[in-house]
Structure 1
Amino acid sequence: MANTSYPKGAQKMLGASIDFADDTIKARLLPSTYTFSTAHEFVASLGTGVGTDQTLTGKSITGGVLDADDLAFGTLAPGSTVKAMAIYKDTGNTSTAPVLFYYDTVAGFPFDTNGGALTVPWDNGVKKIARITAPFYPLGAQKVLAGEINFSADTIKVVPLPTSYVYDDAHEFLDDIAAVIGTAQTLTSKTIADGVFDAADPSFGAIASGSTIGSYLIYKDTGTPSTSPLLIRLTSDYAVGLPLGTNGFALSHQWPNGATKIFSLIPA
């Protein structure tokens, strides 16, 4: 297959249960007998690994990108075949330690152990260990990886942005947005299912004519613009019907009904 996220792990990331900065994150080498399943949720589902699980050190989260020092597994006894590697949060109990990422597209995998030492280098490109990218704002994605955004419990709002808005990777909070169109609406009936976020379609009420909507902004509302993190900007690449001129009538927006809904943390 290909490198991917465990859906139940992605679900926990969106529920602020995973803090890659402060949690103990480990890697396990998986033998050829392991079969990936989207239903796998905890380390107990992985079975016995090859060698000793290693803790990620030198971790960093920058703009939605997770990185760490290369992994050194030490000497591996001969007689095993390593097919993949899993990343998980170590809770001290394999029945409660969530599995997060699965990697089988790694240089040199699969391989037979021969008594030599193994070091696994992370990608030196833009992806590193893992990356949350568009439609997320980089600093919003960074907060997701640090467990600062709970899409289930936090107040998450959406508001239209005018075509005059100029996107900037450095934009972090609501007060970085000079102007919006209409009144922000709180997302209701939110669901997080296997790393996929959905909510009821928002209704913005009557919007005065004369504006052109270029995108929709989703953010966490803290009650203060200077501390309300920007999370997602949905442009015409992600939202049907944009740009859209306002005409004084009521405006509703329909979220996609496909598998990814509003967004998904599972790679396509």
Structure 2
Amino acid sequence: MANVLYPKGKEAFLNGSINLLDDTIRVALIDLDVYSYNAAHQYLTSVQAAIVGNPVNLAGKSITNGIFNAATVTFTGVSGPTIEGLVIYKAGATAAASPLIAFIDTVPRGLPITPNGGDVQILWDTGVNKIFAL
């Protein structure tokens, strides 16, 4: 698999129901032994069972020339199964109201990550597409 935007997430950008700069956007660590990307998935409930640790809000978000970026994120005290992917989503009141935006299984620091109870830091791509480009 490669990094991809969820089709319903793209639709939400187009209809204005996701605003990357103003909405609370989170990233979750994902165990791909439990979850497989599916283009039909729309809400966090589809991946909830595969989340390792606690999702983190993206800070320092920016959009330039159709490219989305944010500050490096740190997940604290992560333990559990191996992390092979990430999911970015808009935080809603519940998982059923939290639309999925992107599935990522390639980051510069590299995946998989085996948690050991310490912090896990995700360094976003510094290349032309950053986190993702539309």
TM-score by length of structure 2 reads 0.92
Q: In the alignment, which of 95, 118, 125 is matched to residue 116 of structure 1? A: 118
Match of residue 42 from structure 1: 43
Match of residue 73 from structure 1: 75
Residues 81-100 of structure 1: pairs in structure 2 closer than 5 A: 81-100=82-101
CA offset at residue 61 of structure 1? 1.2
Residues 54-203 of structure 1: pairs in structure 2 closer than 5 A: 54-77=56-79, 79-106=80-107, 107-132=109-134
Match of residue 30 from structure 2: 30
Q: Distance in 1 between matches of 2:92 and 2:113?
A: 29
Q: Distance in 2 between matches of 1:42 and 1:52?
A: 17
SS of the residue corresponding to residue 76 of structure 2 reads strand
Q: Which amino acid aligns with 1:25?
A: I
Q: Which amino acid aligns with 2:16?
A: A
Deviations along 1:64-95, one digit per CA (max 9) or x if unpaired, are 11111101011212x41111000000012110
Match of residue 2 from structure 2: 2
CA offset at residue 47 of structure 1? 2.1
Q: Which amino acid aligns with 1:84?
A: G
SS of the residue corresponding to residue 54 of structure 2 reads strand
The RMSD of aligned alpha carbons is 1.1
Match of residue 20 from structure 2: 20
CA offset at residue 116 of structure 1? 2.1
CA offset at residue 27 of structure 1? 0.3
SS of the residue corresponding to residue 2 of structure 1 reads coil
Match of residue 251 from structure 1: none
CA offset at residue 108 of structure 1? 2.4
Residues 168-247 of structure 1: pairs in structure 2 closer than 5 A: none
Q: Which amino acid aligns with 2:23?
A: D
Q: Distance in 1 between matches of 2:120 and 2:12?
A: 30
Is there any run of 5+ residues in structure 2 with no aligned partner, and where? none
Identity %: 38
Q: Distance in 2 between matches of 1:69 and 1:126?
A: 15
TM-score by length of structure 1 reads 0.47
Q: Which amino acid aligns with 1:85?
A: L
Q: Distance in 2 between matches of 1:115 and 1:97?
A: 27
Q: Distance in 2 between matches of 1:67 and 1:47?
A: 24
Report which structure shows greater RCO (CA 8 Å, sep ≥6): 2
CA offset at residue 111 of structure 1? 2.4
CA offset at residue 126 of structure 1? 1.3
Q: Distance in 2 between matches of 1:111 and 1:118?
A: 8
Deviant stretches of 4+, over 4 Å: none
CA offset at residue 123 of structure 1? 0.8
